[in-house]
Each structure stands twice: as structure tokens, then as C-alpha cells.
Amino acid sequence: MNDWLVAMFNSNPLNTRMARNVVKSFLTQRGIAEEDVWDLEIAINEALTNVIRHTYRGDQTKPIKISILWDGEELKVFIRDYGDHVDPKLLKPRLPDPEREGGFGLYIIHRVFDSVEFSNVCRGNLLVLKKKVRGRVC
């Protein structure tokens, strides 16, 4: 059985907290381990923050859509923005550097998820994140 969650909100940074809470609730209710929920929550937050900071350049009025599909074994997260196209070649994770502040969002996302796919779509961008994760067996 597939479970879906779809949420849409504007790009106000305060909304990332609401998105994290919705994601956490969705995952917890499906019996996904607390440690996995924490990692997923942080990585998804990083992806949303990247959209707000880089694609929308801080504009707090733009839409962001997040969709989550869980089939009992694999979690798929779709993050859709409606901003200018981003060159996927520029989206390479950097290794942590103690001398540098920030810039670790992509590194975190790639460490948490098994698959990270970014593409330009009609009027925006789509990030697809996939991770094998087990929840409660019914």
C-alpha cells in the first residue's frame, strides 16, 4: 500500500519548521525508527532551505511543494519549486571543512538519502530523494 503526503507552502523560512513537523508526524505514524526520522527531517529541511536561499534568493512569497510517497520499504520525497532553472552540474556536495561556515546542505542530503536526482521541469525545478527505510509491519 502506498501512503502519500502532499503539502504546499510559501517560501518564508518560518515555514520550514511547519514542514519538518508535518514530515516528522507522517514518518513517525508509519513506525519509522526515530533515528531515521531525525536524519530524514534534517536532510529535507536542508533541501527546503536551499530552495529558499538559492533558487528564490530569499523571496518569501514563492511556492514550494513537497510530496512524500512511502510504500513500506522505500521513501520518495519530491520537492518542487517554481523558480529559475538551476544547473544540476553546480549541485555537487562539498566535504565538510572546519574552516568554512555553512554550505553542507547537499553533503547532508547525499549522506542521508540513497538517491538524489535533480532536474529542471516546466517552470521550475524538481528534487527527487529516495531512501530504503522500514516502518511498522502490519
Domain boundaries, the chain: 3-132
pTM value? 0.91
Tell me how far apart the alpha carbons of residues 31 and 87 are, in angstroms, rounded to a whole number: 37
Residue 66, pLDDT score: 98
pLDDT of residue 126: 98
Predicted pLDDT at 31: 93
pLDDT at 62: 98
Tell me the fold of 3-132: Heat Shock Protein 90 (3.30.565)
* The pLDDT value given to residue 88: 73
Each residue of 40-56: pLDDT tens digit?
999 999 999 999 999 99
- The residue ranges of the chain whose pLDDT is under 50 are none
- Per-residue confidence (pLDDT) for residue 109, from 0 to 100: 96
In our burial notation (b when 16+ CB lie closer than 10 A, e otherwise), range 54-78 reads: ebbeeeeebebebbbebebeebbbe
Confidence at residue 1, expressed as pLDDT on a 0 to 100 scale: 77
Identify whether the C-beta of residue 50 lies closer than 8 Å to the C-beta of residue 106: yes
pLDDT of residue 96: 66
**Residue 92's pLDDT is what?**
72
Supply the pLDDT for residue 121.
Answer: 96
